[in-house]
Each structure stands twice: as structure tokens, then as C-alpha cells.
Amino acid sequence: MNVFEDLYFYQHQLKTTISELQKINKQLEKFVYIVAHDLKSPLSGIIGMLGLLEMDKQVAGNAETLEYVSLLSNAAYHLSGMISSLLDYSRKSIDQQSVEEVDVNVMIKEMSFLLFPPKNITIKVAGQLPVFSTKKLKLQQVFQNLISNAIKYSDKPQGLILVGVKEKEDCYEFYVTDNGPGIPLEKQKDVFNLFHTSVNKSASKVDGSTGVGLNIVKMMMAEEGGKIWLESTPGLGTTFFFDWKK
């Protein structure tokens, strides 16, 4: 083939690839919508049942039980809000997704409460986290994935998860660090791969890990023009860093 034939061939290949990616994106959007919609209905039933429990005389008369039911109710309402956001997200393109003012301090505080960490795990914030306008749902998903993983794989009698930030010129470099089992060097490059699960097999089996979460986080970071990486020392813990545009 001559130069013009080569150019035509590659243009055709590029158009075909773009067309295929658009089809896949449409399928993914439809899938997200269906899953979110199907989750909404049973969750509404759970919220209704928890409301009835809160009004039950026996539950109301037991302070500890009432507290647990109230915690579950708050978590269910939070999950319902997230599902509503997912439904809204699935209907919009990347450019159309809503931007709102986010207080990251409040976000982490709410997440620390709603993820129900065991009593031996402490979640702390280092310094002051920013308040800025961004796509809240995506940022929330990144933090939720990283923090829930740190909780899930904690192997110390006293677990510590620290959330902090370093301000750069055009982005915030957030980090989530833990004192968990750490990740061996030879495994670190694989953690963002689809269906890759933790080297801590017992934890991943108990929790039913699918190896999807970090891959989704990586894709969201790519969508936002940021990046995510980690530093880890086996036996001492792991720190995930990610750049998020201002």
C-alpha cells in the first residue's frame, strides 16, 4: 500500500474503533441505569421496614437497638441518594454531569459513619481538606472505594486510616493511607486490573471481593484527567494517591 492507502486504512480503523467504543459506552450506560433502577425498589422497602421498626414500642424502649436501627436507616437513605445520583449519572454524558460545591471534610466524616468501620479501626483526617466545585458522585466513589478497602483488609489489632491532601497548582493530590498488610512489590502493578483481588485471600473470600472496584476508580480518574497510584510496604501498610482537578 502507498501512503494514501495507509492513511485511508488507519482512518477507517480509527472510525471503526470509535464506533465500537460508543456502542460499548451506550451499553454500559444502559446497564448502570437498569442496575440502579432495580436496586431502588427493594431499598425503598427496606427503608419502609426500618421506619416501622423505629416506631415499634419494643425497639423504641431499647436505646441500643433503636440506635442500631437508626444507623441502618441513615445508611439506607444515604445509599438511596447514591442510587438516585447513579440514575442521574447514567442519563448524562461526561460533559453534562453536574458540578457542585463539595466540602471534602464533611464527605469523609459522613463516609466514616456510614461505612460502619469496626470499633478497632479509626478513620482520621490530616489537616484541613478542601471545599471546591467538582463532580461529587465521582469523588465520593473514589474515596468510598479506597476507604472501604482499607477497612476490609485491615489486619492489625488497632487499624488506622488517614485521609489527607496536598494542594498543587491545578489539582489536589489526595491520599488514603492505612497500616494494613501492605501489597508486595510484584503485585502492586496488578491492583488496578479488572477482576484482580487482594493477595489477602481470606479477606477477599469473606467479603466476596470481585476485583472490580479499583479498576472502576482507575477509569473514573482517566475520565477526569487525573491519575491514581500507590506506595506500599508489606506488613506496614499502603498509601493510595490520586490527583483530582480543581
Q: Which domain holds residue 144?
A: 100-245
My answer on whether 83 and 138 are in the same domain is no
pLDDT category of residue 218 using cuts at 50, 70 and 90: confident
Mean pLDDT (the chain, rounded): 80
Check residues 40 and 72 and name the one with the higher pLDDT. Answer: 72
At 60-91, the pLDDT tens digits run 888 888 888 888 888 887 777 777 766 666 66
**Chain segment 193-207, per-residue pLDDT in tens:** 755 555 454 444 344
Clarify whether residues 126 and 83 are in a common domain.
Answer: no
- Together in a domain, 164 and 212: yes
Residues 129 and 41 in one domain: no
Q: What is the predicted pLDDT for the residue at 31?
A: 62
Strand boundaries in the chain, DSSP class E: 100-103, 121-125, 131-134, 159-167, 171-178, 228-233, 237-245
Tell me what percent of the residues of the chain surpass a pLDDT of 70. Answer: 73
* Residue range 40-44: mean pLDDT, rounded: 76
User: Which three-class secondary structure state does DSSP give residue 150?
Assistant: helix
- Whether residue 95 lies inside any domain: the answer is no
> Region 103-131: what's the mean pLDDT?
92
89-124 exposure pattern, b = at least 16 Cβ within 10 A, e = fewer: bbeeeeeebeeeebebeebbeebbebbebeeebebe
pLDDT digits 0-9 by tens, 139-190:
988 998 899 989 988 999 999 999 999 999 999 999 999 999 999 888 888 8
Contacts of residue 14, Cβ cutoff 8 Å, sequence gap at least 6: none
Residue 185 lies in a domain: yes
Q: Say which CATH number the domain at 46 has.
A: 1.10.287
Examine the fold and report which residue of 56, 90, 124 is the final residue of a domain before the chain moves on.
90
Residue 185's nearest CA partner among 232, 222, 143 is: 232
CB atoms within 10 A of CB 23: 10
Q: What is the pLDDT of residue 181?
A: 93
Residue 7 has a pLDDT of 66
CA pair distance 222, 149, nearest whole angstrom = 20
pLDDT the model gives residue 187: 84
Q: Same domain, yes or no, for 120 and 222?
A: yes
Which cell is 87 given? 440514575
pLDDT band at 210 (very low <50, low <70, confident <90, very high): very low
Q: Are residues 47 and 67 part of one domain? A: yes
In a shared domain, residues 205 and 228: yes
DSSP 8-state secondary structure symbol assigned to residue 157: S
pLDDT given for residue 66 in this prediction: 87
Q: Which helix (H) or strand (E) holds 1?
A: none
